[in-house]
Every structure is written in structure tokens, then in C-alpha cells.
Amino acid sequence: MSRTRTSPWLWLALAALLVLLDQFTKVLIVGSLQLGDGFAVTSFFNIVRVHNTGAAFSFLAQAGGWQRWFFTGLGLAAAVFIVWLLHRHPGQRLFGFAMACVLGGAVGNVIDRVIYGHVVDFLDFHALGLHFPAFNVADSAITVGAACLILDELLRVRRSPAH
């Protein structure tokens, strides 16, 4: 865990870049594919336009509409908390990177919920008869961020004096 004088603005800029990349890819998908349309890229990967009104793995997708604002509020609350954390711990590089990824992904999906009423997913992987739920750049950023948070904590525990 490096504790150099990294500015929280670096992490906020990374999060903003991820939001821009996420929204750019979604604009391309919405502008070029109808809901349910797609095409094969490889034998295990497709681009397909899917709408998710729920959360990860379509959790609460059929909840009747209230989940749109619940997940929007949850995403905004998480964003505020993450910005606070980034300002408190800007020099922790792996932690900052992880939080920036989660922040960028959360904001990207919040934008979708506000504009469209659902999240636009389009990355569709499948192999050996198994099909992974479609996802997007924001979901990928959140996943990378979560993995980096776990790694950051494992490294922190490993360096602690008790070990």
C-alpha cells in the first residue's frame, strides 16, 4: 500500500474516464441495435442489446418499477461515500484505483437508470453450454474495483505486525 502524495483528483479523473467510456459504448449500442438484437464476435462472445431494470444478475428486475429509484439512490449514496473515502485516503494507490473503478461503474449505471429507466448491457459471454448474464463497461469496472479492494485488504493484512 503505497502512501505517496497522490491527489484524490487523479482517482476522480479515472472514475470520470470510466463513466465516459461506459456511456460512449452504451450510446453506440443504443444507436445501432434494437433491444434483443446482437451479433457474434467470437464463438464465445456476442454483442447483444439487453436492458436490466434490476441490479447485478437482474436482481429485483421484476419488482414493478420502484427498484429504478432505489438503485439510483443507492448508487448516488455509494458515489458520495466513495468520493469521501478518496479524499481521506488519496495516497493509497491500490485502494484509490479500486474505489475509482467502483465509482465510475456506479455512476455509469446511475446515468442509465435516470435516462433510460434501466441499465443497458451488451457484453455477452458463453461457453460449454453455459451463458453468463450480459453486462457492460460499468459492471466490468465495478468488478475490477471489487477484486482490487479484496487484493488491497489481503495485502494490508499480510503487512500487519501480527502476521
The 10s digit of each residue's pLDDT in 11-50 is 999 999 999 999 999 999 999 999 999 999 999 999 999 9
47, 72, 132, 152 from 57: Cα distances, Å: 17, 16, 9, 26
Instruction: Show the domain range for 18.
Output: 8-30+46-159
Residue 110 inside a domain? The answer is yes
Catalytic residues: 121, 139
Residue 3 inside a domain? The answer is no
Count of the separate structural domains present in the chain: 1
Residue 41 inside a domain? The answer is no
- Provide the whole-model pTM: 0.87
Quote the pLDDT of residue 159. Answer: 80
Quote the pLDDT of residue 2. Answer: 46
Quote the pLDDT of residue 73. Answer: 84
**Model confidence pLDDT, tens digit, residues 94-146:** 999 999 999 999 999 999 989 998 899 999 999 999 988 999 999 999 999 99
